[in-house]
Amino acid sequence: MFFLCTNDPKEYRLEGRLIGHKNAINCLSVSSKGTLLASGGSDGMRVWDLKRRLQLPSPRHIVGIQNPADPVTCVSWITRQEATRETLCYGTGLGFIGIWQQHGEGLEDFDAKVSKRIGTGKEIMCLTYDHSGNDTRIATGTRDKRVQVWSFDFKGPLIPVFSIELSTTIPRMINFNRTASRHILVFGMYDGEIHQLRGTDGIVMATHNAGPLIGHVSVDIAQTLFLIDNVVNGFSLHRLDDGACIRTYNTNPVKTFPKQVVFGENMDVVVGGSDAGVIYVFDKKTGTLKQVLKHADKARVQTVTVRFFYELDGIRLTDGLQDLR
């Protein structure tokens, strides 16, 4: 399902639907240019042309990632300002990491650059990247409490930087500090702990706590605040430096399964899923519920993402919300 803001910046409307997945969708990501949407789930990885609302061809030969029982669990576009071709990175439930890159006339086809099972083959819970100068790093967190970082030059294989095992924390989300240090933040799913790892070797430098459980995490652009699905009463906003809770956005969840929550509209709103077939849009500062977007009568909405889009006439800037559950 695909929503766009109307001429009234306070309201969203249904813009269209993307049909293709047959089973649950676990992750969504929009490319840096806002033209492509990646969606991963129980039936694999798909890429969509958002302008034409069409599914693009997947690589024909994907060595390793062929098990139909292996769901895609996380996905991220790797953005390089100098690049003309989009690069997609994703992880799976059986511990495979895949990297696709655009090629061919019209850039509608993708090559599988990497298909590799990492570590002991445990589920990849989260992944992220950092691009600085000529060096791109990819970090993953797996269900066996392991955080691994690689260097990737877009030509050859992944080159290991470090791999560490946390004592008790299963990573739910992982985030690079966008500074020269390239320290890493790891958010724990079942213990609510937030670890800062040294960018060179993964040594734990500091630890804070954001609560008993973390269903999902989103860090703001300035890297001063983060949102979590607290699993108990909805979503909450926290300070990144100490993990303290600033505000709660109550959704009265009936069931305590994880739901994604993200910042939208230049960090002014909070957007998250539900177990009631709707998407909630809150004002970040006041906590006021601004709008409820209906997806279905009963379906769970666990997966959402947002992206700014510029109209062709350049008159207005809108926030796009995707939900394919």
- pLDDT tens sequence across 57-79: 888 755 445 566 789 999 999 98
Quote the CA–CA distance of 324 and 246 in Å, as a whole number. 30
pLDDT tens track for 92-144: 999 999 999 988 666 678 888 999 999 999 999 999 999 988 899 999 999 99
Note the pTM of the prediction, 2 decimals: 0.90
CB-based burial of residue 302 (10 Å sphere; 0-12 exposed, 13-18 middle, 19+ buried)?
A: buried
Tell me the DSSP string of 109-174: EEEEEEEEE-TTS--EEEEEEEEETTEEEEEEEETTTEEEEEEE-SSS--EEEEEEE-SS--EEEE
Is pLDDT above 50 for 325?
no
Neighbours of 313 (CB within 10 A): 6
